A and B are shown apart, each in its own frame.
Chain A
Amino acid sequence: MAVDRSDIAKLAELARIAISDSAADDVAHRISDVLALVDQLQAVDTDGIAPMAHPFDAVQRLRADEVTEPNLREQFQAIAPATQDGLYLVPQVID
């Protein structure tokens, strides 16, 4: 399965990564090489096999709904690019 520059443009949009026009062809080529490697999987018969996400098929453990962590907002926000009144600042989203 090969991808072309329009596929790359769509993927870049989904992944929120800017890919320049000049880079797109090279990226498409490299990714197509990897997808060629990966296509070997299509030949494998996996009828009746359940997907495996965890070696022991573990599931999310639940815990009691109790507060166990202190609020460390100031400490964590100390390393943020821009904050104000305990909120993270980003460029305007809504007009």
Chain B
Amino acid sequence: MHHFTVAELIQGLRRKDFSSVELTQHYLDRIARLDPIYNSYITVAAEQALAQAAEADQRLAAGNAPALCGVPIAHKDLFCTSGIRTSCASKMLDNFIAPYDATIVENYRQAGVVTLGKTNMDEFAMGSSNETSFYGPVKNPWATDCVPGGSSGGSAAAVAAHLAPAATASDTGGSIRQPAALCGLTGIKPTYGRVSRWGMIAFASSLDQAGTLTRTAEDAAILLNDMASYDAKDSTCIEHEIPDYTATLQDSLQGLKIGIPQEYFAEGLHPEAAAHIEAAIKTYESLGASIHNISLPHTHLGVPAYYVIAPAECSANLSRFDGVRYGYRCENPRDLTDLYKRSRAEGFGEEVKRRILIGTYALSAGYYDAYYSKAQKVRRLIKQDFVDAFQQVDVILGPTSPSPAFAFGAKAKDPVSMYLEDIYTIGTNLAGLPGLSIPCGLVENKPVGLQLIGNYFAEAKLLNVAHQFQLATDFHKQVAPGIE
């Protein structure tokens, strides 16, 4: 049962090949038995999951159940899930039982989706390798001495190890797309403002966006249908028509114009990964697309701009963690200042503290203009590159990540080399555009991803372009060796 895609599970539930309770129990058993290898889950919500599954079975029996009714998924541990620990993989929130559901969790709950549990991640979503989690690192199912990518490493590993058919995730600088690439999955980050951030614990508010990790573009489309919503409680959410993302998956790619940015194929890209992307471009040509060379001249400024903006916003967002109302509180505080300083020093990991300090610096008097304001101006230049490109092409194609999954510890000592992992994905977040990653081959027996970037609110087109590739190729069907 765990080899089925979400689309297949939907069919199976309706044909009564299995019930939601059987399916959920099957996954729970698998997680208990196999997740000690991967450490992809922080919290497994067995009791709640089975109760939800029983309800879903009733709705399915009554007829007229929504599409996803009875399908179990996992949620990245930064989405508030009522009554279930929501930790952001941090000691700061190890004792935090969320008192409400995030909007996306509520959307899925209403659709009858079953929550298996909360997945591991880099602490407070800051990282590209899932090495900074308070609950320990996550192992890549393709090579357990290697990272799964981050920050959504747990969601990616769970789906790649068939411990969940799909998982929610979040992407601020590449945290869905890069783990998707490193774990052989389809990962989508929708347009900024497409999905509500209410109840999604904030890292960088102008960059964060929720999305999914699945094994196919079709599954991503099915899941996006229920994830996307206009939410008055999220003031950065944009009201925009929500299409049925599955309706146009079958559209022909005849006449599609694909842009290849020269800056994404410069030094630093693993040559075998580049070869796979070249092969994928040929595949797209055979499907009727035309290929156009484009330039995104400010690409090299993406990582520097991001590492001002994201830490600055994180320093503001994480100031709420003060040991007063919830979360970790230090023992025997001498006074209020000591309470704040030690709760935060003890509750946060090193990377989180570093980023808060960088952000504090970038926003401080005398530096705000030179750093934060400057970075926000550069951000507009980066966005303009994409706006100009989309005058000529329909989608942009390139690599997701410079190389396949790296070994644990390989980049942990040098934060800047870790930051450069996101070099191809970060521009998309800065501009607020939708992006996705799909598998396109193996390098050193580990997956690499192909990234597609679309125009604002063009998720349907992106998913169609991804789906057609997945009809013509088999990369997305490859399973990590050793997965039973």
A: residues with CB less than 8 A from B are 3, 7-8, 11-12, 14-19, 27, 30-31, 33-35, 37-42, 44, 46, 49-56, 58, 60-61, 63, 72, 75-82, 88, 90-93
Given A30-B354, A88-B325, A41 contacting B301 (CB threshold 8 A) = yes
* Interface contact A51-B376, CB-CB below 8 Å: yes
Distance between A71 CB and nearest chain B CB, rounded to angstroms: 13
**Contacts A31-B357, A61-B235 known; A53 to B206 CB distance under 8 Å?**
yes
Per-residue A-contact encoding for B183-210, CB less than 8 Å = 1, 0 else: 0000000011100000000000010000
- CB within 8 A of B358: which of A31, A41, A63? A31
B414 cross-chain contacts in A, Cβ below 8 A: 33
Residues of chain A within 8 A of B192, CB atoms compared? 54-55
Tell whether, in the assembled complex, residue B371 and residue A38 are in contact, meaning their CB atoms are under 8 Å apart: yes
Q: Interface residues, chain B, CB within 8 Å of chain A?
A: 95-97, 99, 191-193, 206, 232, 235-236, 238, 298, 300-301, 303-305, 307-308, 315, 319, 322-326, 329, 333-342, 344-345, 348, 353-354, 356-358, 360-362, 364, 370-371, 373-381, 383, 414-416, 419, 431-433, 456
Contacts A15-B315, A50-B377: A44 and B357 contacting too (C-beta < 8 A)?
no
- Known contacts: A46-B378, A50-B377, A56-B193. The answer to whether A16 contacts B304 by CB under 8 A is no
Q: Give Cα A38–Cα B367 distance, bound, in whole angstroms.
A: 13
A54 touching B236, Cβ below 8 Å: yes
Contact check, A58 vs B357: say whether CB atoms are below 8 A apart.
Answer: no
Look across to chain B and name the residue whose beta carbon is closest to the beta carbon of A3. Answer: B361
Q: Given A3-B361, A16-B341 in contact, is the A44-B232 Cβ separation under 8 Å? A: no
Residues of A with C-beta under 8 A to B307: 34, 37-38
Beyond A34-B358, A46-B377, A52-B377, whether A63 also contacts B232 by CB under 8 A is: yes
**Distance from B378 Cβ to chain A, minimum over Cβ atoms (Å):** 6
Residues of chain B lying within 8 A (CB to CB) of residue A34: 307, 354, 358, 415-416, 419
Given contacts A42-B374, A72-B99, 18 further A-B contacts (CB under 8 A): A7-B361, A15-B357, A15-B360, A18-B345, A19-B345, A33-B415, A34-B307, A34-B416, A38-B371, A39-B304, A41-B301, A41-B305, A41-B308, A41-B374, A49-B381, A55-B192, A55-B193, A55-B431
B272 to chain A, nearest CB (A): 27
Once the chains are docked, how many angstroms separate the CA of A55 from the CA of B190? Answer: 13
**B359 smallest CB distance to A (angstroms):** 8
**What are 28 A-B pairs with beta-carbon distances under 8 A?**
A11-B360, A11-B361, A15-B356, A17-B344, A17-B345, A17-B348, A18-B345, A31-B361, A35-B361, A37-B303, A37-B416, A38-B371, A40-B304, A41-B304, A41-B308, A42-B374, A44-B298, A51-B380, A54-B206, A56-B456, A61-B235, A78-B99, A79-B95, A81-B323, A81-B324, A82-B329, A91-B334, A93-B335
Cβ–Cβ < 8 Å partners of B379 in chain A: 51-52
- The A-B contact count (CB < 8 A) is 167
Interchain CB contact under 8 A, A8 and B238: no
Chain A's closest residue to B419 (CB) is A37
Give the CA-CA distance A81 to B96 in the complex, in Å.
11
Q: Does A49 lie within 8 Å of B238, measured CB to CB?
A: no
Contacts A46-B374, A56-B432 hold; do A17 and B357 have CB atoms under 8 A apart? yes
Q: How far is the CA of A44 from the CA of B308 in the complex (A)?
A: 15
The 4 A-B residue pairs whose C-beta atoms are closest, nearest first, are: A55-B432, A51-B376, A46-B377, A18-B345
Residues of A within 8 A of B341 (CB): 12, 16-18
Check if A88 sits within 8 Å of B324, measured CB to CB. Answer: yes
Distance, CA A79 to CA B381, complexed state (A)? 45
With both chains docked as a complex, state the minimum distance between the C-beta of B380 and any C-beta of chain A, in angstroms: 4
Q: How far is the CB of A6 from chain B (nearest CB, A)?
A: 13
* Distance of B388 from chain A, by nearest CB (Å): 15
